[in-house]
Every structure is written in C-alpha cells, then in structure tokens.
Homo-oligomer: A and B are copies of this chain.
Amino acid sequence: MTVAARHNWQSVRDEVRRRIHARDWAPGSTIPNEVDLAAEFGCARTTVNRALQSLAEAGLLDRRRKAGTRVALHPAARATLTIAALQDEVTARGQAYGYRLLRCAEAAPPAHIHALMPAAQQLHLRALHSADGRPYALEDRWINLAQVPAARTAPFEQISGNAWLLANVPYTHGEIAFFAQTAAAEAAADLSCPEGHALLGLDRTTWDGSAAITRVQLLYAPGHRITTTL
C-alpha cells in the first residue's frame, strides 16, 4: 500500500480526490487529520493543508476545527461561470463586435428598480450588442444617479454601460439570476426574432457597499447557450 511519495500539494489533492471518488472514504465519514495524512504522504502538514483546502473550496470536503475533515454528504457540483464583458465574449468567438445605443434618458424607474435605487429619477439605457452584424444580446440598464452622478455625461453612444461602469465605478459585490422569457414585441423587434420566441436572459445587480450601483437585464438572441465545466 505504498503511496507514490510525490511532494506537491496537487498530487496530494489528486490522491485524496481519488479516494473519495473510489469510496475509500465514504460520504459523511471523517478522514484522517492533517498530521496523520502528512505522515502517510511523507510531506509537511502545510502541504496537506493546501490540498485539503482546495478540495473544501470545491465542495468535496467539509472542514471544521476540532471536528475534523469530513467527506461532503451532498457533493454538490460547483461550476464557475465567467461572466465576461459582452465585447470580449463576442471577440473570443472570433466574431466582429458591434454596439448600438437605443435609448439613454433620465426617467422614473419601475417599482422593482425603485426598490433598489430610491430616487425619483434614474438613468435608463437600452442598447443592442451584435456579433458579425447579427443581434447578440439586448441590454436594459438602470444606473443609480445618486451613486454615480458622472453617468449623466458618460459617452454611452460609443461605450456600453457595462464597459464604462467597469472602468469607472468600483463595486463590492453583485447578484445574478438566469431565467427564460418569451420575447415581447419590443424585444423581438430589437433582436430580429419572432414574437413569443424563448429567450435566455439574466438580471445582474451590483452594489458598492450597501448602495446599489446598477441593475441590468440582458436578453440573449434565440439559441444562445451559457456553458461551463464542472
């Protein structure tokens, strides 16, 4: 039962993962502590620690001081979505990126936006992103003018709301939701697709501390898929 005594944390991680997958260590059971594993693998405890932390981050292990390290009962799959700027998303596919501003005006926000940004008037943007001249995604954005007054004079004819905000306004955290929606008349016209078509969309809200910065809804053109690996 000699274990190949490699001394890098990745090989320790791989071996531990193998034992979990092979059910050497069953879901819910406690695995040996770091000192013992270090002895078994012939490396420093620091190295084992690094490996186990990486697996805990991936959701395969639950670690608690004193209680020890257990194999997760429900090894929920964790997928990391990389939400790039649309421009990067399109050029990464080798297509030509296009951008057209459809609307930019101060207006009274609807209730669900007003709940996020409590002021009578906020900045409202609509824009179409395209790939090789075909509609790629429709953007509908509200920007909190109380937090970002400079947005009033930003050149949104040339730069997308996302790009300008990324370059000019820091944020601390955000929230994303994916959903499916049938294309209403206006969206269908903008995306050049039949009314009633199923569209994949997302809502994203970003905050700086406790103040909401912006809320954007993106509707992708028909057939769009968002992919990731496990």
- Does B178 lie within 8 Å of A178, measured CB to CB? yes
Contacts of A229 in B (CB 8 A): 173-176
A82 and B78 in contact, given A227-B176, A229-B173, A230-B173 (Cβ under 8 angstroms) = yes
Of the residues B22, B27, B81, contact of A81 by C-beta under 8 Å:
B81
> A95 at the A/B interface (Cβ < 8 Å)?
no
Of the residues B74, B176, B181, B206, contact of A198 by C-beta under 8 Å:
B181
- Does B176 lie within 8 Å of A230, measured CB to CB? yes
Contacts of A171 in B (CB 8 A): 21
CA distance A74 to B227 in the complex (A): 19
A79 and B78 in contact, given A179-B224, A229-B174 (Cβ under 8 angstroms) = no
> A98 at the A/B interface (Cβ < 8 Å)?
no
- Does B170 lie within 8 Å of A77, measured CB to CB? no
For A179, the closest partner residue in chain B by CB is B225
A83 and B76 in contact, given A198-B180, A198-B199, A230-B176 (Cβ under 8 angstroms) = yes
> A228 at the A/B interface (Cβ < 8 Å)?
yes
- Does B180 lie within 8 Å of A200, measured CB to CB? yes
Chain A 82-115 near chain B by CB (<8 Å), digits 1 or 0: 1111001000000000000000000000000000
CA distance A112 to B206 in the complex (A): 39
Contacts of A174 in B (CB 8 A): 77, 229-230
Of the residues B80, B84, B204, B224, contact of A74 by C-beta under 8 Å:
B84
Contacts of A59 in B (CB 8 A): 82
Contacts of A204 in B (CB 8 A): 230
Other A-B contacts than A81-B228, A178-B200, 18 sampled, CB-CB below 8 A, are A22-B170, A74-B85, A75-B166, A76-B83, A77-B84, A77-B176, A78-B80, A78-B82, A79-B81, A80-B80, A81-B81, A83-B230, A177-B225, A177-B226, A179-B226, A181-B198, A182-B196, A204-B230
Q: Which residues of A contact B (CB under 8 A)?
A: 21-23, 27, 59, 74-85, 88, 166-167, 170-182, 196-201, 204, 206, 223-230
A-B contact pairs, 5 of them (CB 8 A): A74-B84, A77-B82, A79-B176, A81-B228, A176-B229
